[in-house]
Amino acid sequence: MSQTKKNILLVISTVLVTLLIVCCAIFYMLGGTVEKAGDMLRFIATVSFVEDKYDGDVDRTILINGSIDGMMKSLGDKYSIYLDEEKFRELNNINNGTFGGIGVVMSFAEPGHCKIMSVMENTPGQQAGLQDGDEVIAVEGTPVSELQPEEVVGKIRGVEGTQVVITIRRQGEEDKDYTLTRSSISMTTAAGDMIPDTEIGYIRIASFSENTAKEFKDALEKEKSQNAKGLIIDLRANPGGLVTSCMDIANMVVPEGEVVSLIDKSGNKQVFNSSMTEKELPIVVLIDGNSASASEILAGALKDRGAATLVGMKSYGKGSVQTILPLFRGDGIKLTVAKYYTPSGTSIDGIGIQPDVEIAMPEHPTEDVQLLKAVEVMKEKLQ
């Protein structure tokens, strides 16, 4: 046999051995089922075929990113999504309480619509003249009706100093485009003060980020030093955030015992408990259709444990838990891994939490009737 043939056979043997080792590794990692190993080989073969045969330029990273994105979308779960490098960075910035944005709090209570709930002071939104109640009907020319809420938020937020164009619909006026320059938004997520001429403290929690628990504790201690006899916690338009932050606050307001339990697909149950033993203040909690996720965990625990009266409208109903998996190229995935249950064993996923006292905001409010009702309920508690 010639040396050339020997070399060819050696190469073929090496390739076959390598392929066999790879197949065995895949087979092992996927639990040892032939079907799963075959599916993985189908994927590898497809990527290889596209790279070799496609009549055009192929970027393998883009190809894999698209595959992961499609994988997440195939689950049919709006909370399980692929986060490219930009979106992954934005998520981390939001959890840290700092991001490049325009300084507005948005509501997606009505599907396909986005309304501005409030405009923060000294932000691009305020400087441009945006107002509470404005409807965002398009971002960069793309109608809001064609986007998921997280896509709307993702398009509006971005790198500090860059511009974004949003189209605003305001009652009695023609639709208008606003060009805003994003700035760094350092958001205080929990703040409050005493209700004037009462012994009632008020704390608004806008979301649950890394600093929220400390901000809440500072506000609570300040109000206790001012002889607060009762506390109103405002969770309206709170989309959730870090469950760890929510639990830190639960330890300050929920009586010792269960706060929430998580159950995964295998039936494994994890129970989170409050360690608070000191005497708690009477509490009233404000919720609405935009109170979701971690805000529902806190509201549900306080209601089920008999520690608070809930006032407002039924909450959003996001009772699933997501985990973040970094994918080592600055991107990642957010995947639903469990459902949470209130202390009474109730899942509110797709249902929401019903308030004890239901009261809706009028279409064009001249005063905060929900907060006024919460004050009324608290005064009855303090009698």
Burial status of residue 113 (CB atoms within 10 A of its CB: 0-12, 13-18, 19 or more): middle
State the pLDDT at residue 304.
97
Question: Cβ(115)–Cβ(168) under 8 Å?
Answer: no
Q: What is the pLDDT along the chain (383 residues), one digit of tens a residue?
A: 566 655 555 555 555 555 655 655 655 555 656 677 778 788 888 888 998 899 999 999 999 999 999 999 999 998 899 998 888 877 776 666 566 889 887 877 677 788 887 788 889 999 999 998 899 999 999 999 988 776 788 789 887 888 999 999 998 899 999 999 999 877 778 989 999 999 999 999 988 988 899 999 999 999 999 999 999 999 998 888 888 999 999 999 999 999 999 999 999 999 999 999 888 899 999 999 989 999 999 999 999 999 999 999 999 999 998 888 999 888 999 999 999 999 999 999 999 999 999 999 887 778 899 999 999 999 999 98
Q: Name residue 186's beta-bridge partners.
A: 98
Best CA proximity match to 263, nearest among 344, 345, 350, 354: 345
DSSP percent split of the chain into helix, strand, coil, nearest 5:
35, 25, 35
State the pLDDT at residue 121.
83
Question: Which one-letter amino acid corresponds to residue 61?
Answer: T
44: left (phi over 0), alpha (psi -120 to 50) or beta: alpha
State the pLDDT at residue 127.
94
Question: Cβ(297)–Cβ(352) under 8 Å?
Answer: no
- What's the length of the chain? 383
- The terminus-to-terminus CA distance of the chain in angstroms comes to 103
State the pLDDT at residue 158.
80
- The two beta strands, 230-234 and 200-205, are parallel
Domains within the chain, CATH numbers bracketed: 3-83 (no CATH), 98-186 (2.30.42.10), 190-382 (3.90.226.10)
- The two beta strands, 142-143 and 163-169, are unpaired
CB 245: neighbour CB atoms within 10 A?
A: 26
State the pLDDT at residue 6.
57
State the pLDDT at residue 42.
86
Q: Is the dihedral of CA 188, 288, 309, 208 positive or negative?
A: negative
State the pLDDT at residue 123.
92
Catalytic residues: 293, 318, 322
Instruction: Quote the pTM value.
Output: 0.71
Distance CA 246, CA 207 (A): 9
Question: Cβ(314)–Cβ(359) under 8 Å?
Answer: no
Return the H-helix or E-strand segment holding 366.
Answer: none
